[in-house]
Protein backbone atom coordinates (compact mmCIF):
# COMPACT_ATOMS: atom_id res chain seq x y z
CA UNK A 1 0.00 0.00 0.00
CA UNK A 2 1.32 3.41 -0.93
CA UNK A 3 2.08 5.78 1.95
CA UNK A 4 2.08 8.91 -0.23
CA UNK A 5 -0.20 11.74 0.81
CA UNK A 6 -3.29 12.53 -1.29
CA UNK A 7 -3.49 15.85 -3.11
CA UNK A 8 -5.01 18.66 -1.03
CA UNK A 9 -7.23 21.34 -2.58
CA UNK A 10 -8.52 24.68 -1.37
CA UNK A 11 -9.87 27.87 -2.89
CA UNK A 12 -7.83 31.03 -3.35
CA UNK A 13 -8.42 34.64 -4.30
CA UNK A 14 -5.76 37.17 -5.22
CA UNK A 15 -5.34 40.50 -6.98
CA UNK A 16 -2.54 41.84 -9.13
CA UNK A 17 -1.54 43.50 -12.39
CA UNK A 18 -2.06 41.49 -15.57
CA UNK A 19 1.06 41.00 -17.70
CA UNK A 20 0.36 38.62 -20.54
CA UNK A 21 -1.23 35.40 -21.68
CA UNK A 22 0.98 32.35 -22.05
CA UNK A 23 0.65 29.88 -24.91
CA UNK A 24 1.43 26.19 -24.84
CA UNK A 25 1.50 24.19 -28.08
CA UNK A 26 0.14 27.26 -29.85
CA UNK A 27 -2.90 27.68 -27.56
CA UNK A 28 -3.54 30.10 -24.70
CA UNK A 29 -3.32 28.10 -21.47
CA UNK A 30 -2.08 30.46 -18.71
CA UNK A 31 -1.97 34.07 -17.67
CA UNK A 32 0.80 35.90 -15.87
CA UNK A 33 0.39 38.72 -13.38
CA UNK A 34 2.37 40.65 -10.80
CA UNK A 35 1.37 40.14 -7.17
CA UNK A 36 3.32 42.10 -4.56
CA UNK A 37 6.31 42.49 -6.93
CA UNK A 38 6.39 38.75 -7.70
CA UNK A 39 5.43 37.27 -11.08
CA UNK A 40 2.82 34.53 -10.84
CA UNK A 41 1.67 32.16 -13.58
CA UNK A 42 -1.80 30.66 -13.26
CA UNK A 43 -3.47 28.07 -15.42
CA UNK A 44 -6.82 29.07 -16.92
CA UNK A 45 -9.71 26.63 -16.63
CA UNK A 46 -11.66 25.87 -19.81
CA UNK A 47 -14.53 28.00 -18.53
CA UNK A 48 -12.22 30.95 -17.80
CA UNK A 49 -10.61 30.72 -21.25
CA UNK A 50 -13.98 30.53 -22.96
CA UNK A 51 -15.26 33.55 -21.05
CA UNK A 52 -12.19 35.68 -21.84
CA UNK A 53 -12.18 34.77 -25.52
CA UNK A 54 -15.90 35.41 -25.85
CA UNK A 55 -15.45 38.88 -24.40
CA UNK A 56 -12.51 39.44 -26.75
CA UNK A 57 -14.64 38.53 -29.76
CA UNK A 58 -17.47 40.77 -28.61
CA UNK A 59 -15.04 43.65 -27.86
CA UNK A 60 -16.35 44.16 -24.35
CA UNK A 61 -14.56 46.37 -21.81
CA UNK A 62 -13.20 43.41 -19.85
CA UNK A 63 -10.60 42.59 -22.52
CA UNK A 64 -7.31 42.50 -20.62
CA UNK A 65 -4.35 44.74 -21.39
CA UNK A 66 -0.93 44.81 -19.72
CA UNK A 67 -1.09 46.41 -16.24
CA UNK A 68 -4.87 46.05 -15.92
CA UNK A 69 -5.64 45.23 -12.30
CA UNK A 70 -7.46 41.92 -12.02
CA UNK A 71 -8.91 39.63 -9.40
CA UNK A 72 -8.57 35.87 -9.79
CA UNK A 73 -10.73 33.30 -8.03
CA UNK A 74 -9.82 29.66 -8.32
CA UNK A 75 -8.46 26.60 -6.62
CA UNK A 76 -5.00 25.68 -5.44
CA UNK A 77 -3.75 22.14 -5.15
CA UNK A 78 -0.85 20.88 -3.06
CA UNK A 79 0.31 17.61 -4.58
CA UNK A 80 2.13 14.74 -2.91
CA UNK A 81 5.46 16.34 -3.79
CA UNK A 82 4.48 19.60 -2.01
CA UNK A 83 4.17 21.48 -5.32
CA UNK A 84 1.46 24.14 -5.47
CA UNK A 85 -0.64 24.31 -8.63
CA UNK A 86 -3.06 27.18 -9.25
CA UNK A 87 -6.05 27.13 -11.58
CA UNK A 88 -8.23 30.18 -12.28
CA UNK A 89 -11.98 29.69 -12.62
CA UNK A 90 -12.90 33.37 -12.77
CA UNK A 91 -10.92 36.44 -13.90
CA UNK A 92 -12.38 39.86 -13.11
CA UNK A 93 -11.03 43.23 -14.23
CA UNK A 94 -11.01 45.70 -11.33
CA UNK A 95 -11.12 49.45 -11.02
CA UNK A 96 -7.61 50.79 -11.66
CA UNK A 97 -7.79 52.92 -8.49
CA UNK A 98 -7.25 49.97 -6.19
CA UNK A 99 -7.18 50.76 -2.49
CA UNK A 100 -4.30 49.99 -0.18
CA UNK A 101 -6.54 47.45 1.50
CA UNK A 102 -6.77 45.30 -1.62
CA UNK A 103 -3.01 45.55 -2.10
CA UNK A 104 -2.48 44.35 1.47
CA UNK A 105 -4.83 41.47 0.77
CA UNK A 106 -2.84 40.46 -2.31
CA UNK A 107 0.33 40.50 -0.20
CA UNK A 108 -1.18 37.94 2.16
CA UNK A 109 -2.05 35.56 -0.71
CA UNK A 110 1.09 35.99 -2.77
CA UNK A 111 2.61 32.93 -4.41
CA UNK A 112 6.27 32.77 -5.39
CA UNK A 113 7.23 31.60 -8.85
CA UNK A 114 10.16 29.68 -10.27
CA UNK A 115 12.84 31.92 -11.77
CA UNK A 116 12.57 32.17 -15.55
CA UNK A 117 16.35 32.15 -16.02
CA UNK A 118 16.44 35.25 -18.20
CA UNK A 119 19.65 37.26 -18.65
CA UNK A 120 20.23 39.75 -15.83
CA UNK A 121 20.34 42.72 -18.21
CA UNK A 122 16.80 41.92 -19.35
CA UNK A 123 15.53 41.39 -15.83
CA UNK A 124 16.74 44.88 -14.92
CA UNK A 125 15.33 46.59 -18.00
CA UNK A 126 12.35 48.90 -17.65
CA UNK A 127 8.97 47.43 -18.51
CA UNK A 128 7.28 50.82 -18.93
CA UNK A 129 6.14 51.26 -22.52
CA UNK A 130 4.94 54.30 -24.51
CA UNK A 131 1.20 54.96 -24.27
CA UNK A 132 0.28 53.27 -27.56
CA UNK A 133 2.91 50.55 -27.38
CA UNK A 134 1.62 47.44 -25.61
CA UNK A 135 4.48 44.98 -25.98
CA UNK A 136 7.99 44.31 -27.28
CA UNK A 137 9.28 41.23 -29.03
CA UNK A 138 12.95 40.55 -28.39
CA UNK A 139 14.61 38.45 -31.10
CA UNK A 140 18.09 37.02 -30.58
CA UNK A 141 20.55 38.27 -33.20
CA UNK A 142 23.32 35.77 -32.41
CA UNK A 143 24.56 33.77 -35.40
CA UNK A 144 23.21 30.48 -34.03
CA UNK A 145 19.66 31.80 -33.85
CA UNK A 146 19.95 33.54 -37.22
CA UNK A 147 21.14 30.34 -38.90
CA UNK A 148 18.19 28.46 -37.43
CA UNK A 149 15.60 30.82 -38.88
CA UNK A 150 15.76 33.88 -36.65
CA UNK A 151 15.98 36.36 -39.54
CA UNK A 152 13.10 34.71 -41.43
CA UNK A 153 11.05 34.68 -38.23
CA UNK A 154 11.74 38.40 -37.79
CA UNK A 155 10.63 39.25 -41.33
CA UNK A 156 7.52 37.07 -41.10
CA UNK A 157 6.46 38.66 -37.81
CA UNK A 158 6.86 42.18 -39.18
CA UNK A 159 4.76 41.29 -42.22
CA UNK A 160 2.01 39.68 -40.13
CA UNK A 161 1.87 42.61 -37.69
CA UNK A 162 1.30 44.98 -40.62
CA UNK A 163 -1.28 42.67 -42.18
CA UNK A 164 -3.26 42.56 -38.92
CA UNK A 165 -2.91 46.32 -38.38
CA UNK A 166 -1.23 46.06 -34.97
CA UNK A 167 2.31 47.13 -35.89
CA UNK A 168 1.84 50.29 -33.77
CA UNK A 169 1.17 48.18 -30.67
CA UNK A 170 4.20 45.91 -30.87
CA UNK A 171 7.87 46.80 -31.33
CA UNK A 172 10.30 44.17 -32.57
CA UNK A 173 13.84 44.54 -31.25
CA UNK A 174 17.00 42.53 -31.82
CA UNK A 175 19.02 41.67 -28.74
CA UNK A 176 21.92 39.59 -27.49
CA UNK A 177 21.77 35.98 -26.39
CA UNK A 178 18.54 35.07 -24.61
CA UNK A 179 19.85 31.75 -23.37
CA UNK A 180 18.21 28.38 -24.07
CA UNK A 181 20.15 28.19 -27.36
CA UNK A 182 18.88 24.66 -28.02
CA UNK A 183 15.43 26.19 -28.56
CA UNK A 184 16.64 28.61 -31.26
CA UNK A 185 15.47 30.79 -32.82
CA UNK A 186 14.68 32.51 -29.53
CA UNK A 187 11.98 35.14 -29.05
CA UNK A 188 10.86 36.77 -25.79
CA UNK A 189 7.72 38.82 -25.11
CA UNK A 190 8.02 41.89 -22.89
CA UNK A 191 6.65 42.82 -20.42
CA UNK A 192 6.44 39.45 -18.73
CA UNK A 193 9.66 37.89 -20.03
CA UNK A 194 7.66 35.10 -21.66
CA UNK A 195 9.58 32.86 -24.05
CA UNK A 196 7.83 32.29 -27.37
CA UNK A 197 10.54 30.07 -28.83
CA UNK A 198 9.08 27.28 -30.94
CA UNK A 199 5.82 29.11 -31.66
CA UNK A 200 4.92 29.79 -35.26
CA UNK A 201 4.75 33.49 -36.26
CA UNK A 202 1.01 33.14 -36.89
CA UNK A 203 0.43 31.88 -33.33
CA UNK A 204 2.56 34.68 -31.87
CA UNK A 205 0.59 37.34 -33.75
CA UNK A 206 -2.69 35.74 -32.67
CA UNK A 207 -1.52 36.12 -29.08
CA UNK A 208 -0.50 39.74 -29.66
CA UNK A 209 -3.89 40.60 -31.20
CA UNK A 210 -5.37 40.27 -27.72
CA UNK A 211 -3.53 43.49 -26.82
CA UNK A 212 -5.81 45.57 -29.06
User: How is domain 8-108 classified at the architecture level of CATH?
Assistant: Beta Barrel (2.40)
The phi-psi region of residue 189 (left if phi > 0; otherwise alpha if psi is between -120 and 50; otherwise beta) is: beta
Tell me the average pLDDT across 74-99: 75
Whole-number pLDDT of residue 175: 82
Q: Give the mean pLDDT of the chain.
A: 72
Given a cut of 80, whether residue 187 has pLDDT beyond it is yes
Q: Quick check: helix, strand or coil at residue 194?
A: strand
Query: Which strands, in side-by-side order, build the sheet including 187-190?
Result: 170-175, 135-140, 187-190, 194-195
Whole-number pLDDT of residue 56: 64
Q: Please give the CATH number for the structural domain made up of 120-211.
A: 3.40.30.10
Given a cut of 70, whether residue 130 has pLDDT beyond it is no
> Domain segments of the chain: what residues?
8-108, 120-211
Decide which of 50 and 71 is more confident. 71
Given a cut of 50, whether residue 36 has pLDDT beyond it is yes
Residue 76: its H or E element? strand 69-78
Tell me the average pLDDT across 148-158: 86
Query: Which pLDDT band, with edges at 50, 70 and 90, does 132 fall under?
Result: low
Tell me the average pLDDT across 70-90: 81
Angle at 80 between CA 75 and CA 86, to 5 degrees: 20
Amino acid sequence: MSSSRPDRQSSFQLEGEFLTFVAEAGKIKYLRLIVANDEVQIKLSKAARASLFQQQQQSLELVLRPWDRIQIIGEQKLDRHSNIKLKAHDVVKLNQNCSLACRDNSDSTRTSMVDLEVPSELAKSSVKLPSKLKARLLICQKSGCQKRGGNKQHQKLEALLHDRGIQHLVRIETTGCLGKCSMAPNIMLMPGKQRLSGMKPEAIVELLEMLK
